[in-house]
Structure 1
Amino acid sequence: MTMAQSADLAGLGRAEDQFQSVVAANDSAGLADVLHDDLVARGHDGLLHGRAEDVAGYASGAFAVTSYVELRRHCLLHGATGVTFVRAAITARISGEPVSVVMDYTRTWVHDSGRWQIIAAHLCPAPEQPRAAAADQ
């Protein structure tokens, strides 16, 4: 069970850290603790999923992270609602198939009963960055 978390920006940052840790560890019980019962998330397949589906994917091994590296983060706080914008390099197995991708995540958090929980989420592949132009020769 998650301990009490402050309802400020630092507490939101620690909640995001905790979330990333349970994802990287493929910890379905830890994931269940961070996700709100009313979670709605757009998954890697483009479909909307709830908390039970997300947790079950990790519990069954259908989705298994082998590496999660945060590349950047921005946090926004408004009252008891927070939003985290994270870009991360992910290596995983989805239904046994290897995947390596840079993803952009937007997570909406609510501070309820003394802790932060994700109530809505969206992920999508990060846009490719333009390559620097070759130096004139």
Structure 2
Amino acid sequence: MDTNQQIKLLENRLIEAMKASDVATLDALISDELIFTGHYGALFSKEADIDAHREGNITIYDIVVSEQQIKAYDDVVIVSVKKEISGSFFGDTEVGLYRFTRVWKQLGGEWKIIAAHSTQIVR
């Protein structure tokens, strides 16, 4: 299986983990050194991201992917994906269209997300 296929499978696994608030899988896929910039510009660590799922502050109802680009560069892969997401986020129910950019890096033989950025697409 080539790198792009591996990352596509990991991206699908990530979506399912987000929808289920599966913190064990999220922990396995996200680097301890994660830098995540949310769509309002706030920075989040791995711990903050996973804690939001663990504590029930994030509940994802559905994620529909409409576009995905994967670019591999040796041990780093950049993913750009467009998603419609519905869920409850810190008490507010939202449905929106977002573009995510994620950077995956091979660490110790496993692919981990080291950076991510989210932007809300205004229709």
- How high is the TM-score relative to the length of structure 2? 0.93
Is 1:72 the counterpart of 2:67 in the alignment?
yes
- 1:56 maps to 51
**Structure showing greater Rg:** 1
Larger % of strand: which?
2
Q: Is the 8 A contact 1:7 1:114 kept in 2?
A: no
Contact 1:75 1:83 in 2 (8 A): yes
Tell me, in whole angstroms, the C-alpha distance in 1 between the residues paired with 2:108 and 2:14.
Answer: 17
Unaligned runs of 5+ in 2: none
Cα drift, residue 45 of structure 1 = 3.6
Code of the aligned partner of 1:16: E
From 10, 25, 28, the counterpart of 2:23 = 28
* Corresponding residue of 1:84: 79
Match of 2:106 in 1: 111
Please list every run of 5 or more consecutive structure 1 residues that lacks an aligned counterpart in the other structure.
1-5, 129-137
For these two proteins, the number of residue pairs brought into alignment is 123
**Structure 2 residue 14 is matched with structure 1 residue 19:** yes
Measured in 1, the distance between the counterparts of 2:59 and 2:88 equals: 5
Runs of 4+ residues deviating >6 angstroms: none
Percent identical residues: 22
Residue identity matched to 1:84 = V
Distance 1:7 1:38, change over 3 A: farther
CA shift at 1:127, angstroms? Answer: 4.2
Tell me whether 57-66 or 40-49 shows the greater mean CA deviation: 40-49
Task: Measure the CA separation in 2 of the matches of 1:17 and 1:99.
Answer: 22
